[in-house]
Amino acid sequence: MESLLRASGVSRSFQGVHALREVDLAVGRREVVGLIGPNGAGKTTLVNCITGFDLPDSGSVVVDGSDVTSWRAIRRARAGVARSFQQGHLFGGLTVRENVEVAALGVGASAREARRRAGAILDLLALEREAGELAGRLPHGLAMKLGVARALATEPRYMLLDEPAAGLSDSEMPAFVAVVRSLADAHGAGVLIIDHNMALIMEVCDRLSVLDGGRTIAEGTPDEIRRNADVAAAYLGGVARADGEARD
């Protein structure tokens, strides 16, 4: 069985506007792939199509050899495809711990197993102190971390992270990089990450895929992408530099 999450020829339009045009993307187990591009490039739309929160107009999504293109989001989650959201999608009236436990219960874990997963994940993400706080009262950075924790509670084979570092301070970034790498290296998951923090992307990813106007304009290693003139023009805003930033 092929251990791969693959989107092939995915297209999606909204009222005549092409959000995605025949996009291909693959994520292997134990691999971290970055998906980057300017605002409106189609990144979140692609993640929605991969995870079942939206359906493509054409193309296919295959998980470990099974065609899941028509599957609902919950069925894909139970097949090992998890995601976080830009806006959290948390249960604000539940505690941090309860949010993580509910995510585990949603994919079939027992109550005892859900509690075990919650304890381990809150420890991993340094959220133990907030375990008893209501999710709706968390500051943005902690809410984003809780979104990642909820996705982890499903024990995914593939983890899709949409702007997970938004709201994190510079001092929190090294620990977050370590968490993302541990998902691939220690837990064997394939990780797809969208983020506008290019320093983070260049450090944590094995490969990058770049979207612009709903099309893939480049794929390659971080080193190859930072030297790609098309990427610099479309996204980085000028001449790419070796640190992953750009100058006009």
Encode the chain (248 residues) as per-residue pLDDT tens digits: 578 999 999 999 999 899 999 999 999 999 999 999 988 899 999 999 999 999 999 999 999 999 999 999 999 988 999 888 766 578 999 999 999 999 999 889 999 999 999 999 999 888 999 999 999 999 877 887 888 888 889 889 999 998 888 777 888 888 888 888 888 988 889 999 998 888 899 999 999 999 999 999 999 999 999 899 888 887 655 434 434 443 32
Asked whether the beta carbons of 160 and 83 are under 8 A apart, the reply is yes
d(CA 232, CA 226) in angstroms, rounded, equals 7
d(CA 48, CA 54) in angstroms, rounded, equals 5
The pLDDT assigned to 132 comes to 96
**Where are any strands of DSSP class E within the chain?**
4-14, 17-28, 32-36, 58-63, 66-67, 81-83, 158-162, 190-194, 207-212, 215-220, 239-240, 246-247
Provide Rg for the chain, Cα atoms. Answer: 18
Neighbours of 146 (CB within 10 A): 27
Q: Which residues contact 120 (CB under 8 A, 6 or more apart)?
A: none
d(CA 41, CA 32) in angstroms, rounded, equals 20
The pLDDT assigned to 75 comes to 94
pTM, 2 dp: 0.82
d(CA 6, CA 53) in angstroms, rounded, equals 16
The pLDDT assigned to 239 comes to 39
The pLDDT assigned to 14 comes to 95
Location of each CATH 3.40.50.300 domain in the chain: 25-55+71-80+157-248
The pLDDT assigned to 241 comes to 40
The pLDDT assigned to 134 comes to 97
Q: Which residues contact 122 (CB under 8 A, 6 or more apart)?
A: 96, 97, 100, 128, 131, 149
d(CA 26, CA 8) in angstroms, rounded, equals 8
Pick one of 3.40.50.300, 3.40.50.360, 1.10.8.60, 3.30.930.10 as the CATH number of 25-55+71-80+157-248: 3.40.50.300
Amino acid letter, residue 26: A
> Nearest-CA neighbor of 180 among 168, 170, 189?
189
d(CA 29, CA 170) in angstroms, rounded, equals 28
